[in-house]
Structure 1
Amino acid sequence: MALRLGAHITTADTEYGTVLLDQRSGEYWELNPTGTLILRTLLDGGDEQDATDALIAEFDIDRSRGSKDVTELLTQLRSCGLVS
């Protein structure tokens, strides 16, 4: 099952990345380019491995770092109720 944003979450692209707004609470989160790439890959139907591969290709980092970044962002997005 592909990752989806909560129905109450809107996004806006910025020069630096992406902003996520929780319309229920008014809270917002700003994702840097790394976070944006992870989120876009997952929203487009990719899995955690695809997001890690995208990070490695875009930012020339090692696999363990990429995998850790993906896992940490997903954990934060889920704990804040931004994605399902």
Structure 2
Amino acid sequence: MHLRLRPDVDPTDVTDGTVLLDERTGRRWRLNRTGTQVLRGVLIGQDADRIASELADRHRIPAHVARHDVTAIVERLRTATLLESTGQG
């Protein structure tokens, strides 16, 4: 399953990450650099294991910790309805 930002979510890169504006509600979500890396990986179709592996290498943390973080970030974005399934994959 591939995920994408909802069409009414506007991402803006900032110095330390990304701000997502939900144009439906006016609510803003701020992602730090790690959250931004996870989001970018998801948007290009990387699976959670690949994203977690890159995070683990970059931050020198155990793979299971990185995997937990990736899963948590993606779940929060989905719960906030900022991400949606494309139906592909």
TM-score, normalization: structure 1? 0.94
Counterpart of 1:11?
11
* Distance of 1:54 and 1:28 partners within structure 2: 27
More strand by share: 2
Is 1:74 the counterpart of 2:74? The answer is yes
Percent of aligned positions with the same letter in both sequences? Answer: 38
Question: How far has the Cα of 1:7 moved from its partner?
Answer: 0.8
The root-mean-square deviation of aligned C-alpha atoms, in Å, is: 0.9
Name the counterpart of 2:20. Answer: 20
Q: Kindly provide the amino acid, as one letter, of the partner of residue 5 in structure 2.
A: L
Q: What SS does the corresponding residue of 2:66 show, helix, strand or coil?
A: helix
Structure 2 unaligned runs (5+)? 85-89
- What is the match of residue 58 of structure 2? 58
Matches of 1:45 and 1:57, distance apart in 2: 19
Q: Tell me how many residue pairs correspond in the alignment.
A: 84
